[in-house]
Amino acid sequence: MKCRKCGAAAAINMRHHRLALCGNHFLEWVPEQTQRAIERYRMFAPTDRVLVAVSGGKDSLGLWDVLVRLGYSAEGVYIGLVIDGGVGYSNQSLVRCRAFAQAHDLTLYTVDVPAELGAGIPEAARLTHRGQQKPCSVCGLAKRHIMNRVALEGAFDVLATGHNLDDEVAVLFGNTLAWATGYLARQGPALEARPGFARKVKPFCRLQERETAAYALLRRIDYVYDECPHAEGSTNLVHKDLLNRLEAERPGAKLSFYLSFLRARESGTLALPEAAQPNSELHACTTCGQPTSAPGECTYCRTKRRVSEKKQAASS
């Protein structure tokens, strides 16, 4: 297999694009594709200040790398979740993010979840009985809250996450299997800013996971290979596995599923009326001021308070 651009030995063959490329041309192709997505979905402008949420994995560090190569002003935020007491998975993640920022002379904000929430993610989940099987719901809640806060406090124009096509398609697939029309109404590569909510974008939304992995490898980015230990057995991974089988049978199936969904919604042949009133019932949290759907305290602040109460009760 040869590179379509220069005829050298190909480093990657992308069957769904009928495109094989050598390492050098692939490293040009990824930023081009990313730039196309940024423009196509009007994610941000060249002068905007971008905050990239980095986890230490291939997607988020790869995205940061691409945005910097494309000339964007991109700073990073790392959220220290303390998944396993901060010894293995979490600690490795922070080390990788710091090393990347230092090597490229970039600003990295770090947020320590135990200092913010009163406990690391698994402990907070245990204390609040959220996630009796898995701490993933508390984790998502904390990440969304903190990322949004850092983006707003830093007056960033946009918050970028490293979600790739496989991530997006798995979520779309799950929401479609359940016909969760409210979620379907909101899913997309760019979520507009609303009062109290930063603009959110996913510039890697059209790149497959194997492409972001190949990019990180070829760029010699030192990233954490392991999945979060809590991901195992999740519905999301079951869906990813099915979608991988489908893609193997029909190359391009994932991209086509995702893009035809976005097109149908854009053209109005797929109408999700719940999209019309996403703002209807937002209130400012009485504690932190971030928007919340019910009057009173937001779920994050309530969780934080419950963690604190449980810890006090345990120590007294």
Instruction: Kindly list the residues in this chain that would bind a copy of itself in the complex (CB under 8 A).
Output: 176-179, 181-182, 235, 238, 242, 245-246, 249-250, 253, 256-257, 260-261, 263-264, 268-274
Residue 264 or residue 294: which is nearer to a copy of itself going by CB? Answer: 264
Residue 2: what residue type? K
Residue 9 or residue 177: which is nearer to a copy of itself going by CB? Answer: 177
Residue 41 or residue 183: which is nearer to a copy of itself going by CB? Answer: 183
Residue 1 or residue 271: which is nearer to a copy of itself going by CB? Answer: 271
Least CB distance to a copy of itself at residue 255 (A)? 11
Residue 29 or residue 258: which is nearer to a copy of itself going by CB? Answer: 258
Query: Is 218 in contact with 27 (CB distance < 8 Å)?
Result: yes
Residue 121: what residue type? I
| CA separation for the pair 68, 247 (Å, rounded) | 31
Residue 2 or residue 40: which is nearer to a copy of itself going by CB? Answer: 40
Please report, in angstroms and rounded to a whole number, the separation of the first and last CA atoms in the chain: 68
| CA separation for the pair 191, 197 (Å, rounded) | 10
| CA separation for the pair 226, 2 (Å, rounded) | 31
Least CB distance to a copy of itself at residue 258 (A)? 10
Residue 1 or residue 178: which is nearer to a copy of itself going by CB? Answer: 178
Least CB distance to a copy of itself at residue 2 (A)? 30
Q: What angle do CA 105, 107, 204 make, to 5 degrees?
A: 95
| CA separation for the pair 262, 188 (Å, rounded) | 7
Least CB distance to a copy of itself at residue 234 (A)? 11
| CA separation for the pair 168, 66 (Å, rounded) | 19
| CA separation for the pair 151, 53 (Å, rounded) | 10
Least CB distance to a copy of itself at residue 207 (A)? 20
Least CB distance to a copy of itself at residue 264 (A)? 4
288 closest CA partner among 310, 306, 304, 309: 304
23 closest CA partner among 36, 6, 39: 6
Least CB distance to a copy of itself at residue 166 (A)? 15
| CA separation for the pair 243, 18 (Å, rounded) | 19
Q: What angle do CA 180, 186, 192 make, to 5 degrees?
A: 170
